[in-house]
Structure 1
Amino acid sequence: MAPPSRMTPMSEFGPVLRKFRKTAGLSQERLAAVAGVSVEAIKTLESGRRRHPRSGTLKLLADGLGLTETQRSQLLAAGARTKARVTIPRELPDDVYSFVGREDQVAELEKTFTAQEPRPGVVVTSAIGGMGGIGKTALAIHLAHLVADRYPDGQLYLNLGGFGPGRPLTVTEALGRLMDSLGVQGPDDPGDSHEAAARYRSALAGRRVLVVLDNAADAAQVAPLLPGASTCAVLITSRRTLTALPGVAHVLLDVLPDQDGIEMLTRIVDDDRIAADPVNALAIVRLCGGLPLALHLAGARLADEPSWGLADLVHRLETSRNRLDELSTTDRDVRASIEFSLAAATDRDTEAVEAFKLLGLHEGDELNVRVAAALLDLPVDDVSLRLERLVDLYLIESVGPHRYRMHDLVRSYVKETTAALTDERAREAAQLRVLQLCLAMGWQTRMTRFSDDLSEAWYDASWTTGAAQFTVDEIFAWFDEEIEEVISAVRRAAAGGPQQRAMLARLVLGLLPYCYVRRRHSDGVLLGTLAIGVKESAEEPFAAALLPFEVAQQCGSAGQHVRAVEYMTTALAAPKIRAYDRAYIEAEVFLGHYLVELGRLDEAIASAGRGVEVALRSGDEVAEAEGRLILGLAAGRQGRTAAQDREFDRAVEVIRRLGTAHERYWLLCLAGLSYYEAGRLDESSAYLEEARAAATEDGDEFAVAEALEGLGRVESARGHLDLAEQHLRASLQVVQGTWQAEARVRERLGHVLLAAARPAEANAQWRSALDLLVRHGSPQADEVRRLLGPDV
């Protein structure tokens, strides 16, 4: 770093003042008392740190010393100002050799700092924010070098010490260093920060100077250091958001993309190992989470160990009990970087930091504020405030309303602190509170919209504590965001202690309606299988009936009809099913449906017939209609057209008269698809259109999508390819993101596109479908792969 040029030799005022004071026999304290000048000011003047006192101060000192006119003239001459040469500071550190990427941020900042004409009265100011080790300083210095020639009157650089060893610079200390770099005399009273700031701003007036304020503690530390001249510019870095500074453009840094991370490693290691082993190079980047500090440390380890292959470092990072131990050197350390952020927390941040150190109780990648509240056993509003404080410190990231994420290495640190601050009992209690939250949300939806006789008989009001204020739509929206974490929690509970296993059946049965409505049937099968697999579920009579009954339905909807038959057969053997007529009828009807799909038609007719018999005996017309639907499906598969029509007509008449919108949709859709299979397209189309209307009335967009999918098949069979494509694309728009339904619709859309002589588009749909099926391990992948030909 080039030193600034200096103005003139130190003034001789200090020695002159000291000589007159000693001649008068006065101590510094006594002179301060008789002259009315502070002791600190006298000490500063005598030491030479202040060379030119104000004229008023000179008069007070001369009067206090009782100087003669001649002595007074000597004192005034020693303190007189001389015209100084202007100092042009060149303080930027060297640009960082390993700096890579950040093209968008560099372009944005460069455009800001090279504007042709400054706006009157406005200082160009940008703040680079982000977590510790994210590369804020590297970007600031790199950018400062790029634009330095636009600021010919100098470039100031000051590390404010906001986060790191030692304490941050005070405003007075920072102003003193900046003024010294500019060759500006400080105020007589070294503690007068207002006078210091005024002199600093005066020195910059009319000059084009770039000021880089690195590692700022907060907005209060920075505000007095901003120039008043619009010709100047300021670039700030901080681990704290500086939104309190008006007119500042904020640039937030994220981790490096994989390719930039590999390039950084290449520059640091400086040999051919990175290029020779791209697979392990990428693994290192991802194990470092793309964090530049971690990448520097990993690269340094490789550079210091030329005999290591990249796989050696990957193994150490993967197998070390604590990855942070591997990302440390004598002078740089990821763990220490995080601790600096925590050490800089203010009194306002204390509760937030306490919460942060316990977030290792959470296992997932993202954290919802309600889950955090359950983990910490605190009110949601309190936790929300604490998490937002952590966002301000860049310790966690806000990824959506009430939703947060932390960097992998930060999570490693938090797990360390949580493990040190809690015992196994406390951790299990926190996990139970999260499970209770999920249970409450699930059963609130179940009892609001999906209740049945069995559920109502088993339900206890304590299961929905804390969820009564939420609507079904709000809870489903919450599950949309949380479902992957919820599934992970269920997995842990299945392998957990007795209390967790004991609540597993209730928890899963609260989640299954969501899985059904959102068509996440594979997730429903997974969750149900986990719950059925613990002995505590079999020991609870209601769970022993409800779990196989509902998991069978998830299996059937997922196309797993063999398992559906097995689970429904188990449900029918449960005493609680047989104790409730409606549950028994539905079990027989669903079993009949799955047997139809397996081609076991005589068994299907027998099962549905038993259901119809009980429905007739109990006077349940809707249940009877559902049973007759299955009898009609079986008749259609057997080619008994008259019997199919008779059963469908009787079922549809009842369901139109007595059924709910959802019951109408289900029956009409199945009847419409049955007619499609029989080649009776007009009847199929009519029923599917009516099913779509019922689904729309019910507000079930996924049911609407299924009806549209069926209509697409009908129109394709009629040769109306444009209309078929329209229906299927409308269906796809809804189910996109629900992998099983999306893959199925894409496969069918591909067939329509191929029939329309658009093979490239058809292949694109099939490739997308194949990707989904392979990603989720579906055996249907082979069928789609065959559509794409032997080269796939």
Structure 2
Amino acid sequence: MSDFGPVLRKFRKDAGLSQERLAEAAGVSVEAIKTLESGRRRYPRSATLNLLADGLGLTSEQRAELAAAGDRKQTRVSVPRQLPDDLDDFAGRDQQIAELERVFAAQQSRPGVVVTSAIAGMGGIGKTALGVHVAHRVADRFPDGQLYLNLRGFGPGEPMTVEEALSRLMESLGLQAADELADVGETAARYRSALAGRRVLLLLDNAADAAQVAPLLPGASTCAVLITSRRGLTELPGVAHVTLDVLPDRDAVRMLASVVADGRIAADPASALAIARLCGGVPLALRIAGARLAAEPTWTAADLSDRLDAAHRRLDELSIADLDLRASIELSVAAAADRDPETIAAFRLLGLHDGEELDVEVAAALLDLPVAVTEQILERLVDLHLLDSVAPRRYQLHDLLRSFVQETTAQLVDDAGREAARMRVLRLYRSVAWRVRSFDFLDCLIDDWMDADWVAGAEDRTLAEGLAWLDAEADEIIGAVRRAATAAATKAERVLVGELVAGLLPYFHLRRRYSDGVLLGTIAVVTADAIANPLAAAVLPFELAQQCGAAGHYSWALGYMTTALAALHALDYEMKTLEADVHLGEYLVELGRYDEARVAAERAVAGAVRGEYEITEADGRLILGIIAGRQGRTATQDEEFGRAVELVRRAGTPNARQSVLNTVGSSYLETGRYDEALRYFEECRTTALGAGHEFAVAEALEGLGRIELARGVLDAAEDYLRAALAVLAGTWQPEVGVREHLGRVLAAAGRHEEAAVQWRIALDLLVRHGAPDQETIRALLLTTS
């Protein structure tokens, strides 16, 4: 093996010359110097050697060393040292480095086993850089040489054949290249024989697949192999696999600072962090961004951040000289397309998805393919590191890959095709939402509006399956509804949005995501004109009013329910009209308008008694009981609540029972009647446990905790509230209430710092969601300062 490349590189660096400057000084092309230094050409012509020596200004001793390195006869038996230079700006990867070094360190304890590690990841993620870095760190364990071979698995041209790779490796070991007619197996056997007894490290870079690599693996346990590939080479037995993810923020900023190397990154840490995140933590993107900043001394870090912030041109900005992120991604895509055109054709269409995560059923709807076929395609994309698997049947595109596929999708799909894809996804969402609603949230008005097609494809889902799917997909649905309700949306999309939201709102109520319900309900009401259906004109404001009331926006709730009531009167739906009266009473109570509330509730109760609508009667009596409690009329409070509970126990669903019981318990707690409150919260908890409604269980626990707080039994209060918080954490609005009361318990126990933690979290949730009523929490925090 020729040592000429490393020797030439050493003399060039000692002279402080770039390859371009040496080419000018020696009169030798830059390409020739690159070819010699990389080892692609092993032996220079004598004339070239002399020109290089002159250009480098070598002494006679140095000229002799360079000449010896390029001498075929002398170098035939030299020790190969082929590793590329380590990067000066290498940053991060401490965990992966330690993991790989542990594998190599364990070599002595695994006799007869060739230590093999494979580094996989998306293009530009730094696989080669890590491989070279680790190889240099362990090189001294392999005194018989280090071999490096770029297998060209993903790049311009065809991947290196196994025959060519074996020939290159054998030449590197000082063996005659194989006869072109020789059998690959025979050549591989000669290669393994040559390595027997030697301690050699082999770095196989940019492998296409396991089939390309397998014949190149040594048979000697004294050797070790490090492989990099954009594929996961899981078919190779006994291989330690390391998959690279993006760099964390700190390491990404360190890398930027190293590439720019003039203090501009350190001078503006906020912009530096923004650049790192806009580059998605991808080392190639960071290196390009740093190089661009280094090449533009008048730019600030903020200037570069602003340029990268425009998502539609980010890939254009991430290109300089021969470093181009778009080209790197395209190499992965093109190489995979040759082997699996169906998968890559689907990948190029994933720009149809505008959300963060991609569910397999949503992907199937977008691509208009069967779910089973779609899942196979997505899993193959995961293997190619073009897609991440974030959970079973859920996937995610890296931001930069998303930019790439959005470009390709824009070229492949017209406006009509995009609308058709969006409509298929909205229909999927509608089917699951209405399937969930059909279990416990239907009534005559909803039945009359609903079409059987609205649950098409979801008929076989159980309630638990539907809820679990909506739990995972809720944020994506919210985003899809917001996008589909823009001015550019077609009438068909707006109609579908209204139908979808009407099906979905009970889910948001069940999961206590009231602010999301308000958001989507408001969008749906706006679409009512597009729907042009009198049933929708009643249903949508009715459902939105309920969400607003649950979220504490009582004035909004009153306005929307008044609108719904007028539409219901026109439709002559008696029971639904009476329900609207009940809700009007509820909102009027919360606004302190007790006389008006009593009139609405009494009207609802009278109508419900006539029509024998027992649950509506129970709900109306709840309003009357709450008013009586607040006005100190305890006998009336007991009478109305007793009748309401009797009715709901006899005729109510579990949802209706636990709602009434919780309301009664809350009213008694509010009026200081703790024994009565305790009894109803306990029954509410038992009912909710039996129905499997965990959020209702948590609300009952919160009520029990508040009772014990009021009684001064702080240990029991804390236990109840922490149990409630364990269920509600992540459901921000009820979580705020629990944290407020838990903080009060901790403060009463003299644990003021712990109380402040709970209140700060509660305030952060209120601020983050733009919620009113922040002053109560702010005032509590002042008591701990």
Letter of the aligned partner of 2:603 in structure 1? R
Q: Residue 741 of structure 1 corresponds to which residue in structure 2?
A: 734
Do the aligned partners of residues 605 and 2 (structure 1) sit closer, same or farther apart at CA in structure 2, a change above 3 Å counting?
A: farther
Greater shift in the superposed pair: 730-739 or 474-483: 474-483
The answer (yes or no) to whether the contact 1:125–1:235 under 8 Å persists in 2 is yes
The answer (yes or no) to whether the contact 1:114–1:150 under 8 Å persists in 2 is no
Q: CA deviation at 1:588?
A: 1.1
Answering whether residue 139 of structure 2 is matched by residue 148 of structure 1, we say yes
Q: Residue 755 of structure 2 corresponds to which residue in structure 1?
A: 762
Letter of the aligned partner of 2:199 in structure 1? R
Q: Residue 505 of structure 1 corresponds to which residue in structure 2?
A: 498
The structure 1 residue matched to 2:206, chosen from 215, 228, 234, is: 215
Residues 406-445 of structure 1 aligned to structure 2 (within 5 Å):
406-445=397-436
Deviations 1:440-493 (A, max 9, x none): 111111123321111111111111111112112112111111111111111111
Greater shift in the superposed pair: 536-545 or 482-491: 536-545
Greater shift in the superposed pair: 414-423 or 178-187: 178-187
The answer (yes or no) to whether the contact 1:87–1:181 under 8 Å persists in 2 is no
Answering whether residue 639 of structure 2 is matched by residue 661 of structure 1, we say no
Is the partner of 2:86 in helix, strand or coil?
Answer: coil
Q: Residue 768 of structure 2 corresponds to which residue in structure 1?
A: 775
Is the partner of 1:378 in helix, strand or coil?
Answer: coil
Residues 63-212 of structure 1 aligned to structure 2 (within 5 Å):
87-115=78-106, 117-212=108-203
* Distance (Å, rounded) in 2 between the aligned partners of 1:791 and 1:3: 71
Greater shift in the superposed pair: 573-582 or 219-228: 573-582
Q: Residue 632 of structure 2 corresponds to which residue in structure 1?
A: 639
Deviations 1:391-447 (A, max 9, x none): 111111111111111111111110000000011111111111111110111111112
Q: CA deviation at 1:131?
A: 0.2
Deviations 1:484-519 (A, max 9, x none): 111111111111111111222111011111101111
Residues 6-405 of structure 1 aligned to structure 2 (within 5 Å):
87-115=78-106, 117-319=108-310, 321-345=312-336, 348-405=339-396
Do the aligned partners of residues 229 and 577 (structure 1) sit closer, same or farther apart at CA in structure 2, a change above 3 Å counting?
A: farther
Q: CA deviation at 1:312?
A: 1.6
Letter of the aligned partner of 1:221 in structure 2? Q
Residues 509-520 of structure 1 aligned to structure 2 (within 5 Å):
509-520=502-513
Q: Residue 456 of structure 1 corresponds to which residue in structure 2?
A: 447
Q: Residue 597 of structure 2 corresponds to which residue in structure 1?
A: 604
Q: Residue 18 of structure 1 corresponds to which residue in structure 2?
A: none
Greater shift in the superposed pair: 118-127 or 727-736: 118-127
Answering whether residue 537 of structure 2 is matched by residue 544 of structure 1, we say yes
Q: Residue 474 of structure 1 corresponds to which residue in structure 2?
A: 465
Q: Residue 588 of structure 2 corresponds to which residue in structure 1?
A: 595
The answer (yes or no) to whether the contact 1:293–1:334 under 8 Å persists in 2 is yes
Residues 611-690 of structure 1 aligned to structure 2 (within 5 Å):
611-690=604-683
Answering whether residue 522 of structure 2 is matched by residue 532 of structure 1, we say no
The answer (yes or no) to whether the contact 1:4–1:88 under 8 Å persists in 2 is no
Greater shift in the superposed pair: 338-347 or 281-290: 338-347
Q: CA deviation at 1:239?
A: 0.2
Do the aligned partners of residues 84 and 358 (structure 1) sit closer, same or farther apart at CA in structure 2, a change above 3 Å counting?
A: closer
The structure 2 residue matched to 1:485, chosen from 470, 473, 476, is: 476
Is the partner of 2:234 in helix, strand or coil?
Answer: coil
Q: Residue 3 of structure 2 corresponds to which residue in structure 1?
A: 3
Greater shift in the superposed pair: 734-743 or 82-91: 82-91
Q: CA deviation at 1:85?
A: 7.9
User: When the two structures are superposed, what TM-score results if normalisation uses the length of structure 2?
Assistant: 0.89
Q: CA deviation at 1:169?
A: 0.5
Q: CA deviation at 1:579?
A: 2.3
The answer (yes or no) to whether the contact 2:752–2:784 under 8 Å persists in 1 is no
The answer (yes or no) to whether the contact 2:491–2:530 under 8 Å persists in 1 is no
Do the aligned partners of residues 538 and 502 (structure 1) sit closer, same or farther apart at CA in structure 2, a change above 3 Å counting?
A: closer
Larger of the two Rg values belongs to structure: 1
* Distance (Å, rounded) in 1 between the aligned partners of 2:5 and 2:593: 95
Letter of the aligned partner of 1:726 in structure 2? D
The answer (yes or no) to whether the contact 1:186–1:196 under 8 Å persists in 2 is no
Q: Residue 52 of structure 2 corresponds to which residue in structure 1?
A: none
Letter of the aligned partner of 1:385 in structure 2? Q
Question: Alignment length, in residue pairs?
Answer: 718
Letter of the aligned partner of 2:493 in structure 1? Q
Q: CA deviation at 1:116?
A: 5.8
Greater shift in the superposed pair: 344-353 or 253-262: 344-353
Greater shift in the superposed pair: 233-242 or 540-549: 540-549
The answer (yes or no) to whether the contact 1:5–1:87 under 8 Å persists in 2 is no
* Distance (Å, rounded) in 1 between the aligned partners of 2:172 and 2:701: 73
Q: CA deviation at 1:658?
A: 2.4
RMSD (Å), alpha carbons? 2.0
The answer (yes or no) to whether the contact 2:557–2:587 under 8 Å persists in 1 is yes
Q: CA deviation at 1:187?
A: 3.8
Greater shift in the superposed pair: 325-334 or 409-418: 325-334
Q: Residue 27 of structure 1 corresponds to which residue in structure 2?
A: none
Deviations 1:229-268 (A, max 9, x none): 1111100000011011011111010111111111111111
Q: CA deviation at 1:114?
A: 1.9
Deviations 1:588-622 (A, max 9, x none): 11221121111111111111111111111112223
User: When the two structures are superposed, what TM-score results if normalisation uses the length of structure 1?
Assistant: 0.88
The answer (yes or no) to whether the contact 2:195–2:218 under 8 Å persists in 1 is yes
The answer (yes or no) to whether the contact 1:545–1:575 under 8 Å persists in 2 is yes
Do the aligned partners of residues 178 and 668 (structure 1) sit closer, same or farther apart at CA in structure 2, a change above 3 Å counting?
A: same
Q: CA deviation at 1:645?
A: 1.0
Deviations 1:504-559 (A, max 9, x none): 21110111111011110100000000111235357221111111111111111111
Give structure 1 stretches of 5+ with no counterpart: 7-48, 50-81
Q: CA deviation at 1:307?
A: 1.2
* Distance (Å, rounded) in 2 between the aligned partners of 1:320 and 1:307: 23
Q: CA deviation at 1:4?
A: 7.6
* Distance (Å, rounded) in 1 between the aligned partners of 2:212 and 2:337: 13
